[in-house]
Structure 1
């Protein structure tokens, strides 16, 4: 669990600043796309002056002057126009006495290590009722970028309270509850499945968002930044918080106090509870929901800081006592994750102790948890150490080997293990040492062992009790398109989950293809057609997953490290199960014939299914895929399946003529190799990048045909043909179903 105070104090970094960010690593070495966060999440200076999104894992907005200026106007409540002259109508209304009028919904967030901004989300109006009433309607006058296109679900106010609920363009609910005091409505903003943030309604005389900047520097930003850099940070942060309890930055200041005392020496259980209580009391300024969440934030921080197990459990118990039924429902899973993290920590301590009963109890506990979370690096390493101490070299070698070869697990271990690991204690070195000890001092065969271990353990989360899906007749083949990057750490979960899908479902039921992008760094598997498909879907980052033409959202739900791949797999499987029930709208008949070595002729005919009409906007697209590319990407993925190398006829596809589509094309592997070399060389020349490896073996080819309606982007049917296959018909007969 990411703890904002650690970031505030500049002692840890934030996730990838891609359009879809990597969720921060959890205390138990697991990452979640959405989870409760302290009121202000502050990055480590890599934001380049951009405010962090209210939602976890979303892109940040651009600063004014660089494309982020929605409307130029007031700064810090001082009325200005775009040209800097005095505004006719001041932004902030200092004379507001009651609940009626226009209000700006504002949340304070970070824009770098020492810059904090007020992010405007919406302009609301509480209207005076024409008839006497105890509740007044709230309407949305206008929205800013993060709530652009949002739908107002409910909006009502009383004389001193406001409750507004939106649904954003991703389908997530935003719930604001606040109470009027001293002319400002202070409260909290709960984003569905995500954080609870402090937020407020500021009174304004403006009746339109026109001329209002999307964000301005927070009023207390400079004082808070000064406190963070003070020589005596403990005193400075306490003074900051106590002198302005109604300031949104007072709460992260209180979290900073807990962090500083925890890291400066022994923090007693009594003192930790006292600090958590002070934090909760200050949070009450922002409503009861914020006070309740303060206890959970304290418990999560205590676990991240590895306070003693008893302290964390007592804070968790208080959090469970404080959270109401709705918050328990929303954050119950997070509480269970923290409990599990505590249990893992305790078990690891027992394994290193001398009590044989506790050791055995610890082994059982860790193995049981590992069934649910197979890629928990700390658990795997603890069990590997135990096996090595217990003279079980084969078992230890396998566990160390998993950490060494599975994507980014060794790096996660280094970040999560309570003690600094020496070079000799790192998994890669451990497995090499054990291999040599059991093979007469030689490391011959080690690489082959690790490659096989990678394939054997990568998909260990696949449920073994699920029957192989059987195709219907006729069957609409589901097409999964994954936009990914070889240098994209949060793409790992999506890469592995999609590989799990195509392993579970036969190609007569599901086909998955990958388009590699130069995000966040140059990717030697990218190409022009892959980039064109990325633009076709208006994608903004990697990973992006599209099922039958529909982009999966929110993107953060499908992103993360290897530890999230089982969750992403289950999320996608639910979507796939629903998609498989749809009948096919078209039939595809395709033939691939070998003409000469490396040259193939492709023929395809698309006709409407019985009772259907082929839309004029339908297009047949033909993707030439390399079905297995062995390439050790920087994000740790070693093998890449069904990578799109070229779209025959281009990414725009083939249009219908006379109510059908008939295509004949040629595949020339050597011509393709030259095209890809030219593309990569041009990219190097244009960008100054260098590809250390250019995977161009171009073996294990296949061809994927799919028909897509460009008016709706819906994929109407798909089919996959290996180059060795002579003829295929989609939908295929049931007898064609075979599990990969």
Structure 2
């Protein structure tokens, strides 16, 4: 069932809200206006003025229309008839549908509930509780869903039944109205429409005062106008923002609760809750906020679901914690700014204050970044030395590395500056975290992005690309610990990594596996990469990697298998998680490689020009069973491609699976072997055809680059037991070096497509395929199922590596990733904001 919660209003100025209502009414949304929501006299005829005549915009309406309050002489509406169930909010109305309540033979009955189209898909069932002159209640549940529900509790007033809807937990509460179905209008009517009653109420307030002074007098005259559920919270927030006296804020919150009480106990309790939540983050009004939250619990009706009071108290505790955190951050930010201003006039005193703040709050990245900025701006040579010390302690923090690079450049140390600029640019997400520094007015004219510095220095784009690839490789391998000697067992452990160039949480896995290959000898460990279109199009993906991901039921990236089994620990995360991932992988590989192999695999390769062959065979003491499979992969040893997630080199990249995603079956005598004959040109054509086909299948959007060098290739083979997916043994052999593609094809760049990004936006880690939940930075990005695989209907191996690739349906994301460095039109968050409250800062 859906949830209906009304979050606290944003602290917009109340007068501005009134003015906006006077200048542009809520009916200007383009939606068809409907009769105003709320109590009214007998339904107006089609085409009649839904507001009715007004003697005074601030006074009672002549016909008791919803925008104003009912006249004292009017009687409450009968609870019997056909009504629309409406939930109004800020000039817009959601229509759940219509229900007909009949008096029956002394017992009210629900004759019919006709949901609107959007609500109909839930197949709602309505159970009537009571319907009399004092109260109306009913519960809505979706078909087959007894756990979730919405309950309406209201009372008849002149013109309508007003009350609230709340969910089964009592956490979500929203005002609701049973409005008589207007004569001549469709039943149940549109799912949503504009409510001119909101504008009418705003106009009435504006006629009294352009400040909150007009709010309560009109609310007393119009006690059933739903507009006040939006206007009162906006007024409380606005007045508190303008630092009004606590007595005035307390009185305003009390007026809100008094108005809401006209709509029932739930509405009053929720009004108290809303006021308290708004005021909680302001120290001046904390006492009022606590009182409002306590009053909210006391105001809950006796019929509230069991545990509601405790759930509300838990919610309030969480709100207090968050409010305290924000107030603390604001106070800390003020201290830092004061210290920076002091450093501008007294560098020694200001830097000392920044150091003190850093010592007191080392867990907050902003204290480190602003100290580093202060050392760069005001510290001189001594500040540069201190910056070097900070950088040595956090060698993978791009902000520290960048500021030290700028300091070395300013000091005339060109070689040192070049190395540091390359590191700052090569650290994944580095340029994005650096960007806020460039946006500070005091630094904008003297700082430049590290790659821009390198372009100016080397004056050769290819030289810059090579330097960044070399630097990234060095940084990634720097995670490696001590070399592990070869194990006495004969097992070669196979690590299969499913990753993506647009996948931010894949950074930790990519870096960790690169370091892993530096730790273990090649006869003990093989690491292969399968790229997938997750969370968006990836030019390193091919039909076979998509099929392999589907065959092993990959649910997202990064996913990693060690000899066919997924580890229980998390492998994803930002660069700061790479060390932890590496340590866990070392332990897992160490444990696995000590186990004897279940077979042997041999590979014999030949190469002539651009053609190559591979004879692959597997053996064991007894024949292989029908459950065993031989897998063969053609991999590219090292691909240089500046992926949007910041990974610049890609080792052992799977380019083809000649035996298909599910491998080759044993022959009739239980033998496993495979002969591969192909050519680099055929393989390159196959990969290019897949990428071009993918572009055509996605509205013609193009990859900015198609890395198809294929100059160094190897063959990897392994034997799998399909009963449990475990790998018995693996092996690899080099195919050799091959000529690069023709000059016009080299790099396969597209001049009309946007250049590849160096790093995605900070929230790209939450990017997901359509219809999937957004993952966190340490979660895997979800994957969509592929339409087809490169095997035949029985899952058999393809006849050769040049078989035409299959297509896939991996979502409809943009081909061109987000720009690496935020533009002026779309500014990046500051480094302080980017790392605020996070422990995943870019540090080793």
TM range (shorter): 0.5 to 0.7
Q: State whether residues 607 and 659 of structure 1, in contact with CA within 8 Å, keep that contact through their aligned partners in structure 2.
A: no
Q: State whether residues 702 and 722 of structure 1, in contact with CA within 8 Å, keep that contact through their aligned partners in structure 2.
A: yes
The two structures, once aligned, show a CA RMSD in angstroms of 5.3
- The alignment status of 1:682 with 2:693, answered yes or no, reads yes
Q: Report the counterpart of residue 421 of structure 2 in structure 1.
A: 400
Cα deviation digits, residues 526-558 of structure 1 (max 9, x gap): 11111111111222322222222223457xx43
Q: Report the counterpart of residue 655 of structure 1 in structure 2.
A: 665
Q: Report the counterpart of residue 630 of structure 1 in structure 2.
A: 640
Q: State whether residues 624 and 646 of structure 1, in contact with CA within 8 Å, keep that contact through their aligned partners in structure 2.
A: yes
Q: State whether residues 407 and 492 of structure 1, in contact with CA within 8 Å, keep that contact through their aligned partners in structure 2.
A: yes
Q: Report the counterpart of residue 813 of structure 2 in structure 1.
A: none
Q: State whether residues 618 and 709 of structure 1, in contact with CA within 8 Å, keep that contact through their aligned partners in structure 2.
A: yes
Cα deviation digits, residues 16-39 of structure 1 (max 9, x gap): xxxxxxxxxxxxxxxxxxxxxxxx
Query: Secondary structure, in 3 states, of the residue corresponding to 1:673?
Result: helix
Q: State whether residues 138 and 152 of structure 2, in contact with CA within 8 Å, keep that contact through their aligned partners in structure 1.
A: no
Give the superposition deviation at 1:686: 1.9
Partners of 2:545 and 2:275 in 1: how far apart? 43
Cα deviation digits, residues 672-697 of structure 1 (max 9, x gap): 22222222222222222322322222
Which structure 2 segments of 5+ residues have no match? Answer: 1-6, 12-115, 129-136, 154-166, 175-225, 242-248, 258-266, 298-308, 338-358, 738-844
Q: State whether residues 280 and 320 of structure 2, in contact with CA within 8 Å, keep that contact through their aligned partners in structure 1.
A: no
Cα deviation digits, residues 42-90 of structure 1 (max 9, x gap): xxxxxxxxxxxxxxxxxxxxxx999xx9997689996446579xx9999
Q: State whether residues 478 and 718 of structure 1, in contact with CA within 8 Å, keep that contact through their aligned partners in structure 2.
A: yes
Cα deviation digits, residues 248-285 of structure 1 (max 9, x gap): 99699848964xx7xxxxxxxx7699899999999996
CA distance 1:569–1:285, change in 2 (3 Å): same
Write out aligned runs for 1:638-717 (5 A).
638-657=648-667, 658-688=669-699, 689-717=701-729
Partners of 2:456 and 2:663 in 1: how far apart? 54
CA distance 1:307–1:709, change in 2 (3 Å): same
Scaled by the length of structure 1, the TM-score of the pair is 0.55
Query: Secondary structure, in 3 states, of the residue corresponding to 1:523?
Result: coil
Partners of 2:117 and 2:724 in 1: how far apart? 35
Q: Report the counterpart of residue 427 of structure 1 in structure 2.
A: 449
Q: State whether residues 405 and 450 of structure 1, in contact with CA within 8 Å, keep that contact through their aligned partners in structure 2.
A: no
Give the superposition deviation at 1:703: 0.7
Q: State whether residues 635 and 653 of structure 2, in contact with CA within 8 Å, keep that contact through their aligned partners in structure 1.
A: yes
Which structure 1 segments of 5+ residues have no match? Answer: 1-5, 11-63, 96-102, 115-221, 262-269, 313-334, 436-442, 726-740
Q: State whether residues 336 and 367 of structure 2, in contact with CA within 8 Å, keep that contact through their aligned partners in structure 1.
A: no
Q: Report the counterpart of residue 556 of structure 2 in structure 1.
A: 541
Give the superposition deviation at 1:644: 0.8
Cα deviation digits, residues 468-503 of structure 1 (max 9, x gap): 122223332222212222233332332222222223
Partners of 1:668 and 1:535 in 2: how far apart? 27
Q: State whether residues 484 and 515 of structure 1, in contact with CA within 8 Å, keep that contact through their aligned partners in structure 2.
A: yes
Partners of 1:75 and 1:306 in 2: how far apart? 52
Q: State whether residues 501 and 645 of structure 2, in contact with CA within 8 Å, keep that contact through their aligned partners in structure 1.
A: yes
Write out aligned runs for 1:405-424 (5 A).
405-414=426-435, 419=440, 422=444
Instruction: Say which of 373, 387, 391 aligns to 1:363.
Output: 387
Write out aligned runs for 1:212-611 (5 A).
230=234, 233-234=237-238, 254=277, 258=281, 286=311, 297=322, 301=326, 307-308=332-333, 339-345=363-369, 347-348=371-372, 350-352=374-376, 354=378, 359=383, 362-363=386-387, 366-370=390-394, 374-414=395-435, 419=440, 422=444, 425-428=447-450, 431-432=453-454, 435=457, 443-445=458-460, 447-448=462-463, 451-460=466-475, 462=477, 466-552=481-567, 557-594=570-607, 596-608=608-620
CA distance 1:350–1:224, change in 2 (3 Å): farther
Give the superposition deviation at 1:355: 6.1
Query: Secondary structure, in 3 states, of the residue corresponding to 2:585?
Result: helix
CA distance 1:471–1:305, change in 2 (3 Å): farther
Which range moved further: 598-607 or 612-621?
612-621
Q: State whether residues 401 and 420 of structure 2, in contact with CA within 8 Å, keep that contact through their aligned partners in structure 1.
A: yes
Which range moved further: 700-709 or 278-287?
278-287
Give the superposition deviation at 1:517: 1.5
Q: Which has the larger radius of gyration?
A: 2
Partners of 2:362 and 2:138 in 1: how far apart? 44
Give the superposition deviation at 1:599: 2.2
Query: Secondary structure, in 3 states, of the residue corresponding to 2:517?
Result: helix
Cα deviation digits, residues 544-584 of structure 1 (max 9, x gap): 22222223457xx4333434333333333333233223321
Query: Secondary structure, in 3 states, of the residue corresponding to 2:421?
Result: helix
Partners of 1:232 and 1:654 in 2: how far apart? 71
Partners of 1:559 and 1:224 in 2: how far apart? 47
Q: State whether residues 227 and 233 of structure 1, in contact with CA within 8 Å, keep that contact through their aligned partners in structure 2.
A: no
CA distance 1:75–1:355, change in 2 (3 Å): farther
Partners of 2:729 and 2:272 in 1: how far apart? 53
Give the superposition deviation at 1:722: 0.9
Give the superposition deviation at 1:340: 4.9
Q: State whether residues 405 and 454 of structure 1, in contact with CA within 8 Å, keep that contact through their aligned partners in structure 2.
A: yes
Partners of 1:482 and 1:672 in 2: how far apart? 22
CA distance 1:302–1:425, change in 2 (3 Å): farther
Scaled by the length of structure 2, the TM-score of the pair is 0.49
Partners of 2:581 and 2:231 in 1: how far apart? 41
